[in-house]
A and B are shown apart, each in its own frame.
Chain A
Amino acid sequence: QKEVEQNSGPLSVPEGAIASLNCTYSDRGSQSFFWYRQYSGKSPELIMSIYSNGDKEDGRFTAQLNKASQYVSLLIRDSQPSDSATYLCAVAMDSSYKLIFGSGTRLLVRP
């Protein structure tokens, strides 16, 4: 079992829809959770971080964390074609903040 698991996709949604990206992790002691966006040929850029159970909203993005279920998700509202990218879930397994990355979910937003 991988430490951080994501569905590779592609997840295809129409423009204006809500895209829901999911991630599960294996270590119950994980403390910090991050979502990165990576365009093809570019380096990852940080979108959201979340540290406690519940929802965290930032513009069109909402991160959701459920530590009991070892599950973290990213919702993108009013999806735009420019949101088409690979979304990486990353988890810090301990206080060192060394991140373990999932393999990423490719999102395609259809105009």
Chain B
Amino acid sequence: EADIYQTPRYLVIGTGKKITLECSQTMGHDKMYWYQQDPGMELHLIHYSYGVNSTEKGDLSSESTVSRIRTEHFPLTLESARPSHTSQYLCASSIYGYTFGSGTRLTVV
């Protein structure tokens, strides 16, 4: 039973649109993460947060932004989607090992 939820599961959107990928967890974890993963490829950390009002950029440069206003909520926003943003986006939270959400598969056309 998932304690970390991502919506939408799939999203197809046009170039130039603003999108927000939602991530929520019910475990009270302070640490949350966003990863990007292309099919068959590595996980790349794009953003992380160690608590409310704390956000950092990850190892992979990304045009997305994140916010952490509440412990349970860590949304990711793309102001202007481009085809190069097409990928799977995975949210995770942790105390020690990560628990991943089901992911959002984003396609920008």
Q: Is the CB of A46 within 8 A of B99?
A: yes
Q: Is the CB of B90 within 8 A of A97?
A: no
Of the listed stretches A11-19, A54-62, A69-77, A99-107, name the one at the interface; the rest are far from the partner chain: A99-107
Q: Is the CB of B96 within 8 A of A96?
A: no
What B residues does A104 contact at CB under 8 A? 42
- Among A41, A49, A102, A103, contact of B97 (Cβ-Cβ < 8 Å): A49
- B104 CB to closest chain A CB (Å) equals 10
Main secondary structure on B side of the interface with A = strand
Which of A34, A90, A98 is the most central at the interface, judged by chain B CB atoms within 10 Å of its CB? A98
Q: Is the CB of B90 within 8 A of A32?
A: no
What B residues does A44 contact at CB under 8 A? 43, 90, 98, 100
In the complex, what distance in Å separates the CA atom of A36 from the CA atom of B71? 25
- B2 CB to closest chain A CB (Å) equals 9
Q: Is the CB of A101 within 8 A of B42?
A: yes
Looking at chain A, what size class is its interface with the partner chain?
A: 20 to 34
Q: Is the CB of B90 within 8 A of A46?
A: no
Which of A32, A34, A44 is the most central at the interface, judged by chain B CB atoms within 10 Å of its CB? A44
In chain A, residues 29-65, which have Cβ atoms closer than 8 Å to a Cβ of chain B? 32, 34, 36, 41-46, 49
- A11 CB to closest chain B CB (Å) equals 15
Q: Show 16 A/B contacts (Cβ-Cβ < 8 Å), sorted by A.
A: A41-B39, A42-B102, A43-B90, A43-B100, A44-B90, A44-B100, A90-B97, A97-B94, A97-B96, A98-B33, A98-B45, A98-B48, A99-B97, A99-B98, A102-B42, A104-B42
A contact set with B: CB distance below 8 Å? 32, 34, 36, 41-46, 49, 88, 90, 96-99, 101-104
